[in-house]
Chains A and B, each alone.
Chain A
Amino acid sequence: MTVEGVELVCPAGTPAALKAAVDAGADAVYLGFRDETNARNFPGLNFSRPELAKGIVYAHERGARVLVAINTFPRAGQPELWHRAVDDAARLGADAVILADLGLCDYAARTHPDLRLHLSVQASASSAEAISFYHRAFGIRRAVLPRVLSVAEIATLCAGVPIEMEVFVFGGLCVMAEGRCSLSSYATGHSPNIDGACSPASHVRYRDTGSAVVSELGGFTINRFGPGEPAGYPTLCKGRFEANGKLSYLFEEPSSLNTLDLLPELIAAGVKAFKIEGRQRGRAYVADVVGAFRRAVDAIGRGERPAVEMLDGITEGGRQTAGAYERKWR
C-alpha cells in the first residue's frame, strides 16, 4: 500500500486474472468459489478449492491478500453449501471472507473467530446504524458501501462508524438496489441474490437480424443495436424500452463507473479501500484497470493528482460516469 492505509482491491474470476491483478499491483484480490455462493456464478468462471490454495500462495508470496466473496443469500433450510464455503476459505488461509447474509455472518463469527469478516455490498448497508450493528454483532471489520452515496455522505459515514469503509471505484453499475434487485428473477426465474448470477447466460440470446443485433433475456427483447452501435450487458436494467412514445434506457444507460478523478476526495473522506468491479471480465481488463488505479494511488501517495487515463476501450457502452459520487442528475 503506497497511500497509508488505502488498499486497492481487485477482481479475479480465474487463476490467470488473479496473477494479472497481483502482477499489476493489487494490494488485495477478491474471488469466489465455482458455485452459487458468490454473486458472479457464471459458466467457466471462479475457483476450485485447489485453485484457491495455489492462488493464495501466489498472492501471499507477492505481498497481496486474498478475500473470498461468499456473498449470496443461502437458500432457506439449505445453508450447508455456504457454511462449507466459509469453512474452506478459512482452512485454505484466505485473509478475509466477504459476506452479506446475517445468518452466515453469525456462522462465520462463531465458527471462525479469527477469520476477518467484510460486509458485502450485497448487504446494502448504507447507514452508520446498520454498519455499526454488523460490527457489534459479528465483529465485521470492513463494509463495502452500496453505490448510492455521494462523496460528502461517505465522509459523514466514515466519521460515524468504527470500521473500514470500502467503495467501488471502477466497473459495471447496478441500479442502486444491490442485494434486493428482482429484475433478473422476474425475467429468468433465477435470483442474482441466491443463485449468484444476474441475467444468467443460459437465458440470454443474441439474434442477428441482418440490420441489427437484438438481445433477449428470458424471452423478453431488451435491446436492439444498430450497425456499429456499442453493445452493453444483457440485463433488464440496461434495456432500452419505449415509454410515452419515447425509446430510451429507462433504468440506466450502459456505462462504467470511473472515479480516477475522485480518488483524492475519497481518501480525504476517510475511505480505506478502493474496489474495482469485474470478476466476469478477462485478464486484459484486470491488468489495464488495476495498472491504471495502481499508478493513480501511487501518484496520490507522492502528493500528485492522478493522471487522466483513457479507459474508454474497456468500458460498457464505451462510456464512463462518476455515478452517485457526484450525482450530476440532481
Chain B
Amino acid sequence: MGMLSERREPVSRPVEPPFSPILLAGLALAVVPPRLLQPLFDAILAVVRRRHPDILDRLSDFPNAVIGIDPVDLPFVLVLEPWPEQPRLQVHRDFELVQASAVIRGPLEMLFDLAEGRIDGDAAFFSRQLVFEGDTEVVLALRNAIDGAGINLEEDFAATLGPLARPLLRASNIGGRVYRRLAEDMGKISSALLGPLLRGSNTQSARIAELEQQVAELRRGLKARGRG
C-alpha cells in the first residue's frame, strides 16, 4: 500500500474548483478551525455506520486504509479510516501530516452526486472532473462500497433527526432552491467575465487545428513524393 506523503506527490489540487456558492462558503469557512467542524463529521460517520453498515463491510479487505477526500472548493480535507473496529472520519486543513493510502479530489457537489449515485464514478473519472492518486484498489473499493449502499442523504438525515426531520428538511429544501438560484446567477457572472476570453481561445484553437491539418497534409505529400 503506497503512502502518499512518503512518495512526495505534488500537493497542488489538480482539479480547479468551480465558481459556485460552495466556493464562496468555503472562503468564509477558511477562518474556522477544522476541530470545530469535527462534531459534524462524527455525526455523519455515526449515520453511515447505523444506516449503511454494508459500506464498511465492503471495505473490510482494507483494514488499514487511510483515504483522503479533498472537496476542492472547500478549505479543508477529510480523512476516512474505514477500520472495522473503530472507523474514523476526521477533518484536516490539508494532507500535510496525513499518511494517506489514496486521495480522491473533486468539487463538493460532485462528491455528493457520487455518494447518492446520481453520476457514474467512471464517467466522472473519464472526463477528468474527478481525480485520484495512490492505491487504486482502495479508491475503487470505496467507490463501489458507497455506490452499492444506495445512499439517499435526505432519507438518511430524516431517519436520524426524528421529530426535527420535517422542519429541517423543509428548511433544507428552501436552502436548496436558494442555492440553485445562486449557482445559476454565479454561472451567468462567470460566463460574462470569461466569455470574451473563451471566444479568443476558441478562435486560436481552431487556427491551431487548421495549421496542424496543413502540416499533416504537407507531410503526406512529402512522403508520397519520396515513394514516387
A residues engaging B (CB < 8 A)?
13-17, 19-20, 42-45, 200-202, 204-208, 210, 213, 225, 227-232, 234, 254, 280-285, 288, 313-318
Minimum C-beta distance from A318 to chain B (A): 7
Give the complex CA separation of A208 and B136 in angstroms. 13
B80 at the interface (CB under 8 A from A): no
A236 to B130 Cα, complex, angstroms: 22
Known: A44-B143, A230-B126. A210 touches B12 (CB 8 A): yes
Q: Which of B33-41, B68-76, B114-122 contacts A (4 or more CB under 8 A)?
A: B114-122
* Chain B residues packing against A (C-beta within 8 Å): 2, 9-10, 12, 14, 54, 58-59, 61-62, 114, 117-123, 125-128, 131-133, 136-145, 147-150
Give the residue of B10, B118, B142 whose beta carbon is less than 8 angstroms from that of A44. B142
Q: Which residues of B contact A45 (CB under 8 A)?
A: 144, 148
Interface contacts beyond A45-B148, A285-B122, A315-B126: sample of 11 additional A-B pairs, CB < 8 Å, sorted by A = A13-B147, A16-B149, A17-B147, A42-B144, A45-B144, A208-B9, A231-B126, A254-B126, A281-B120, A285-B120, A314-B123
Check A208–B120 contact: CB distance below 8 A. Answer: no
Name the CB-closest residue of A to B59. A44
Given contacts A15-B150, A44-B58, A281-B120, contact A317 B144 (CB under 8 A): no
Q: Contact between A16 and B140 (Cβ–Cβ < 8 Å)?
A: no
Contact flag A208-B61 (CB < 8 Å), given A17-B147, A42-B144: no
Closest to B138 in A: A43
A132 to chain B, nearest CB (A): 37
- Residues on A with beta carbons closer than 8 Å to the beta carbon of B145: 44
A16-B149, A229-B128, A231-B126 as given contacts; A201 in contact with B136, CB under 8 Å: yes
- In the complex, how many angstroms separate the beta carbon of B41 from the nearest chain A beta carbon? 22
Residues on A with C-beta less than 8 A from B127 are 230-231, 313, 318
A168 to B: closest C-beta gap in Å = 17
Bound: A45/B139 CA distance, A: 12
The one of A42, A206, A282 that contacts B120, using a Cβ cutoff of 8 Å: A282
- Could you tell me the distance between the alpha carbons of A204 and B61 in the complex, rounded to whole angstroms? 17
Q: Verify A313–B123 contact, CB threshold 8 A.
A: yes
Chain A residues contacting B121 (CB-CB under 8 Å) are 281-282
Nearest B residue to A284, CB-CB: B120
**Which chain B residue lies CB-closest to A14?**
B148
B118 near A318: Cβ-Cβ < 8 Å: no
Whether the pair A202, B137 counts as a contact (CB closer than 8 A) is: yes
Interface CB pairs A-B, < 8 A, 12 = A16-B148, A42-B140, A43-B61, A207-B9, A225-B128, A230-B127, A231-B125, A282-B143, A282-B147, A283-B148, A314-B122, A315-B123
B126 adjacent to A15 (CB under 8 Å): no
Which of B59, B61, B122, B125 lies at the interface centre, i.e. has the most chain A CB atoms within 10 A of its CB?
Answer: B122
A230 contact set on B, CB distance < 8 A: 126-128
